[in-house]
């Protein structure tokens, strides 16, 4: 396929009925289309590997219904203060040696304070000194905070929209959907790459999934990374008894994300510990080309490194090298 046809895939004007029509395609037709788009824009049979570390755990004032780190829910999670820079550096070295090319740092804050930013910028500089791409998810940011993180060398900022604007209030009441978009705008303005996706399996409808992806695809610039999380129903949270999403519906979400945002890395994120090897293989065929790698994803489980290596070897998938992150002035 030539470049002009490939460029035609890049749109920021998707209509909801178009996105819903993709979800409604016969499963094999949808996957064929997604894999065709994927091969135009990405090397086949490769996956980018990131490691995510919780650098500050628990006691978050937000009421996100899926999150065990909320101070409002009794989930048995121990609160942990912000880690020391040296400890984070050691964990980043271990992640690099295990094959990760991007190191992501998550902190359970509504938004960071000045002293928090000072420590985070030191962490970012240490991670960058190891030759790793850096990513952080710290809650809502002001424009000034985003610039400070960018000046420290942060490559990616993660801030998920979680779900559709219409379903959002059923999941979170302590901030609104526009707050999410405002932080994404601040991150773009500062010149960082955006990592932004959502969660499926929270009781939302197919239309909600379509709307979530429509919002992401119609941002002025597609997120460079799009994590698709499968709900981990944690005891003690309001969604503890939520029935699991149908595996094929999860794969459909991956495939539609790939079609709408053809150049983005689509990442298998939370919930992967409970996914069968067969489901992960389908997700890779549907266009997923990034995973979180390591034994824990913030506070929930993740497949161990050796299992991931064995699965990728069975599928003939190689770890992609870390390309230089594109920072936008």
Task: Answer yes or no: is pLDDT of 215 > 50.
Answer: yes
Given a cut of 90, whether residue 32 has pLDDT beyond it is yes
CA distance 91 to 154: 17
Which of 252, 278, 282 lies closest to 27, judged by CA? Answer: 252
pLDDT-derived band at 318, boundaries 50, 70, 90 = confident
Catalytic member of 102, 195, 196, 258: 195
Q: Do 223 and 173 meet the contact criterion of CB atoms below 8 Å apart?
A: no
Buried-state track 139-149, b at ≥16 Cβ within 10 A, e below 16 = bbbeeebbbbb
Count the residues in the chain: 329
Residue where the block lists tokens 């048995």 = 76
* Residues whose CB falls within 8 Å of the CB of residue 174, separated by 6 or more in sequence, listed in order: 61, 62, 63, 64, 110
Which entry of 33, 91, 102, 135 is annotated as an active-site residue? 135
Q: Name the catalytic one among 175, 258, 267, 272.
A: 267
Whether 195 is catalytic: yes
Q: Which of 34, 77, 8 is closest to 296 using CA atoms?
A: 77
pLDDT in tens, 135-154: 998 888 999 999 999 999 99
Quick one: pLDDT band at residue 7, thresholds 50, 70, 90? low
Q: Which of 33, 102, 104, 252 is catalytic?
A: 104
67 catalytic, yes or no? yes
- pLDDT tens digits for 99-145? 778 888 888 787 888 989 999 999 999 999 998 989 998 888 999 99
* Separation of alpha carbons 325 and 103, rounded Å: 13
Q: Verify whether residue 196 is a known catalytic residue.
A: no
pLDDT of residue 113: 87
| DSSP state letters, 301-329 | E---HHHHHHHHHHHT-EEPP-PPP----
DSSP at 296:
E
DSSP 77: P
Is residue 223 a contact partner of residue 29, using CB atoms and an 8 Å limit?
no
Nearest to 105 by CA among 120, 116, 90: 120
């Amino acid at each position: 396929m030539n470049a002009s046809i490939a460029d035609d895939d890049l749109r920021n004007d998707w209509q909801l009925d178009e996105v819903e029509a993709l979800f409604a395609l016969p499963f094999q037709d949808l996957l064929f289309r997604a894999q065709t788009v994927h091969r135009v824009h990405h090397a086949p049979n490769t996956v980018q590997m990131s490691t995510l570390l919780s650098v500050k755990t628990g006691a978050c004032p937000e009421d996100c219904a899926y999150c065990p780190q909320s101070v409002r829910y009794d989930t048995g999670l121990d609160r942990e203060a912000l880690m020391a820079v040296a400890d984070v550096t050691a964990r980043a070295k271990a992640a690099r040696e295990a094959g990760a090319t991007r190191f992501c740092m998550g902190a359970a804050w509504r938004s960071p304070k000045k002293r928090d930013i000072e420590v985070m910028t030191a962490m970012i500089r240490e991670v960058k000194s190891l030759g790793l791409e850096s990513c952080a998810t710290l809650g809502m940011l002001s424009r000034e905070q985003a610039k400070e993180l960018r000046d420290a060398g942060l490559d990616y900022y993660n801030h998920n929209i979680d779900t559709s604007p219409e379903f959002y209030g059923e999941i979170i009441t302590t901030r609104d959907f526009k707050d999410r978009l405002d932080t994404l705008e601040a991150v773009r303005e500062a010149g960082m790459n955006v990592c932004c996706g959502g969660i499926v399996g929270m009781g939302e409808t197919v239309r909600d999934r379509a709307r979530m992806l429509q919002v992401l695809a119609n941002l002025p610039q597609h997120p460079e990374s799009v994590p698709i999380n499968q709900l981990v129903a944690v005891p003690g949270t309001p969604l503890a008894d939520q029935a699991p999403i149908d595996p094929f519906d999860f794969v459909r979400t991956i495939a539609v994300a790939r079609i709408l945002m053809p150049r983005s890395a689509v990442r298998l994120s939370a919930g992967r510990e409970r996914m069968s090897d067969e489901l992960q293989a389908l997700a890779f065929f549907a266009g997923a080309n990034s995973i979180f790698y390591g034994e824990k994803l913030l506070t929930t489980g993740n497949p161990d490194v050796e299992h991931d290596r064995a699965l990728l070897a069975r599928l003939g998938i190689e770890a992609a090298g870390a390309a230089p992150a594109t920072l936008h002035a």
